[in-house]
């Protein structure tokens, strides 16, 4: 899996940063992706990538501020021009359904695919998926805002190939059955138990993407033991009062949240337009003493994990 940052600016775009959107590219062979927030211009950002809207499966909106939502009506409309665009699920805070319904009605937008909208509250989302579970919690912002924790389900353990050869199990479909937990019977009549030739399940990866937020307990809880945490970092140190007044965080506060949560990696994003590219890189480096594995996101940055 990997993340692709499509917009990393706070509030308004700059010449080098668009407003917020992040794509999660799912493992092969699915070739699907999810979007987290759809700021204005997101569909234009997508045109410069290999991602196609007919492979977009789900959208998660953190909150209703325009720099996270104004690209949504245009993207939904453009998706109708892509062959094979199937059902699209949207999850977001209360108000997301009204926003989409009014935009579609006022512009007479008609979609040629099924659109499902779910307004979220805290807890586990109603996702029908064999690969992932998604949890959400409300953060501390000026309006209702949610963070998302995406947990990959445990994967089957490794096959003991040496033992399978010793037992006389021929490579092929029987290997697949054993890996999926099924016992098999050889032509000789001997039963081979999956538990005897498959290792322990491999823990799934955890990704946490937070919306706009001041430091809060919910952010730490969602990010606990995450392989990758994406945290807003609108301001640098020295602007803590301004950050809390607007429901935002400094880069140092994002690093502190990652450290408290024992996350493995931190990507900071959503930077104030007052900062240059060089400023942001320097700020991230200065906060490695709080959390060493920190990276400052930029538009089109890809982070495999």
Are residues 141 and 221 located together in one domain of the fold? Answer: yes
Whether residue 173 sits in one domain with residue 74: no
Q: Are residues 55 and 15 in the same domain?
A: yes
Query: Are residues 273 and 181 part of one domain?
Result: no
Q: How many CA atoms lie within 13 A of 59 on its CB side?
A: 33
Structural domain total, the chain: 2
Catalytic residue among 28, 37, 67, 227: 67
Residue-level pLDDT at 91: 98
Contact yes or no for 266/295 (Cβ under 8 A):
yes
* Per-residue model confidence as pLDDT tens digits over 72-99: 999 999 999 999 999 999 999 999 999 9
Q: Is 160 annotated as a binding residue?
A: no
Asked if 261 and 173 sit in the same domain, the reply is: no
Residue 141 annotated as binding?
Answer: yes
Cα of 282 vs its chain's centroid, Å: 25
- Tell me, yes or no, whether 79 and 128 share the same domain: yes
The answer on whether 83 is annotated among ligand-binding residues is no
Same domain? For 186 and 127 the reply is no
Q: Are residues 87 and 101 in the same domain?
A: yes
The reply to whether 142 and 182 lie within a common domain is no
Indicate whether 21 and 147 sit together in one domain: yes
Looking at 142, 169, 197, which one is the last position of a domain?
197
270 labelled ligand-binding = yes
Structural domain ending residue among the three candidates 171, 197, 223: 197
Q: Does 183 qualify as catalytic in the annotation?
A: no
Q: Return per-residue pLDDT of the chain as tens, 305 residues.
A: 999 999 999 999 999 999 999 999 998 777 899 999 999 999 999 999 999 999 999 999 999 999 999 999 999 999 999 999 999 999 999 999 999 999 999 999 999 999 999 999 999 998 878 889 999 999 999 999 999 999 999 988 899 999 999 999 999 999 989 988 899 999 889 999 999 999 988 899 999 999 999 999 999 999 999 999 999 999 999 999 999 999 999 999 999 999 999 999 999 999 999 999 999 999 999 999 999 999 999 999 999 98
38 and 148 together in one domain = yes
**59-to-21, 34, 55, 288 alpha-carbon distances in Å:** 10, 6, 12, 32
212 marked as binding residue: yes
Contact 82, 54 (CB under 8 A): yes
Structural contact between residues 130 and 206, judged by C-beta atoms closer than 8 angstroms: no
The answer on whether 44 is annotated among ligand-binding residues is no
What CATH number does the domain containing 85 carry? Answer: 3.60.15.10
Q: Do the Cβ atoms of 129 and 150 come closer than 8 Å?
A: no
Cis preceding linkage at 200, omega within 30:
no
109 and 149, same domain (yes or no): yes
Structural domain containing residue 110 = 2-155+202-304
Element (H, E) at 75: helix 72-79
């Amino acid at each position: 899996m990997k993340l692709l940052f499509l917009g990393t600016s706070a509030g308004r775009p700059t010449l080098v940063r668009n407003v917020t959107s992040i794509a999660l590219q799912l493992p092969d062979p699915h070739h699907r992706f999810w979007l987290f927030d759809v700021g204005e211009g997101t569909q234009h950002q997508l045109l410069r990538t290999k991602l196609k809207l007919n492979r977009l499966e789900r959208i998660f909106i953190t909150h209703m501020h325009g720099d996270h939502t104004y690209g949504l009506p245009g993207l939904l409309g453009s998706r109708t021009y892509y062959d094979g665009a199937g059902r699209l699920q949207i999850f977001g805070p209360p108000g997301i359904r009204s926003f989409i319904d009014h935009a579609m009605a006022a512009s007479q937008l008609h979609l040629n695919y099924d659109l499902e909208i779910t307004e979220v509250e805290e807890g586990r989302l109603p996702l029908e998926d064999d690969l992932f579970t998604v949890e959400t919690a409300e953060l501390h912002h000026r309006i209702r805002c949610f963070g998302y924790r995406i947990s990959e389900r445990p994967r089957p353990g490794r096959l003991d190939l040496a033992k399978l050869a010793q037992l006389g199990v021929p490579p092929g479909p029987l290997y697949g059955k054993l890996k999926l937990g099924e016992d098999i019977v050889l032509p000789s009549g001997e039963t081979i138990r999956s538990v005897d030739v498959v290792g322990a399940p491999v823990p799934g990866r955890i990704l946490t993407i937070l919306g706009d937020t001041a430091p809060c307990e919910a952010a730490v809880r969602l990010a606990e033991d995450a392989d990758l945490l994406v945290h807003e970092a609108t301001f640098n140190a020295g602007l803590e009062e301004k950050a809390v007044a607007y429901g935002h965080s400094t880069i140092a506060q994002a690093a502190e949240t990652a450290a408290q949560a024992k996350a493995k990696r931190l990507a900071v994003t959503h930077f104030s337009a007052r900062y240059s590219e060089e400023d942001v890189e320097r700020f991230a480096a200065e906060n490695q003493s709080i959390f060493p594995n920190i990276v400052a996101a930029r538009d089109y940055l890809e982070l495999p994990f």
